[in-house]
Amino acid sequence: MRTQKPENAATVLIDLSVRRRGVLTQGTWIEKKIRWAGRDLTTRIAGWEPKPNAEGAWLQEQIGCLPTIARLAMESTILLYTYSELEFEEWNGRPEMMEAFGGLFSRKLIKKCPAAVNRPRFRKNVDFQYYLKRENMIEFCCFLLELEPSVLPQATELWTTLPDFERDNLLQLGQFESVCRSLAKGHYPDAFHFWTAETNRLNYFLTMDRKFLRALSGDRSLHFRSQAVSPTEFLSALGISERDPSPCADSRPRTYYE
């Protein structure tokens, strides 16, 4: 079943690249002077501080859009989505992604939608670690690109177990092929994310992968309901020019109790 678009709310598949950059803080140690048993001591306390500015004007501009996008999500002006393959990427990523302190995009703000094609249906009886490796996702994308849609219904044992949503998508693999046409294999997982946004009829795939965005924008033959956009392009599409200040504008290190 396709994800239904709520009235008046833009629907967005949010890439891990955006969520990762939405973690605005990093851990640090803070020295504190204390009085203990009549002596003056210095102790180190775990704390946090804002991350240093990202390198490059383009990337810094994208990060500057994220507090505004997070606020729009909290106000339900936009609805954020993720799905299984992006979750696999997250589980294979850095530990600070898991509900990190200072993260703008709480799990509570993000809904789930189905994958265009559910990889575990085709890759059964493998170790869970298989799904976390990017090279295995690339291999699966190559497998899809080699399929002949017209013969799929003949694989009755698999075909009869698939939801209608996935059957429809497999019969229209040309959509996925058209996205991959202008991409190197390393970007096939991003193409799959974009295709998943399209099959769920979401308005946008929000990413900060500049190479992927450039490759797509160079192919004028693509015609999709969904749009792959950077944060600046996304806010521009919504007609929003002002940017919310960063909640971590104060650069001094702090303890978690401040």
Residue 10's closest CA among 224, 194, 175, 226? 226
Every domain of the chain and the residues it spans: 10-34+43-248
Token pair recorded at residue 87: 């979750």
What's the pLDDT band for 3 if we cut at 50, 70, 90? very low
pLDDT number for residue 220? 67
Q: What is the pLDDT of residues 63-95, one digit of tens each?
A: 999 999 999 999 999 999 999 999 999 887 654
> How confident is the model at residue 198, as a pLDDT?
96
Q: Does residue 245 register a pLDDT over 60?
A: yes
Facing residues of 13 across strands? 81, 205
pLDDT band at residue 101 under the 50/70/90 scheme: low
Structure tokens at 127: 């170790």
For 153-191, write each residue's pLDDT tens digit: 777 677 888 999 999 999 989 999 999 988 999 999 999
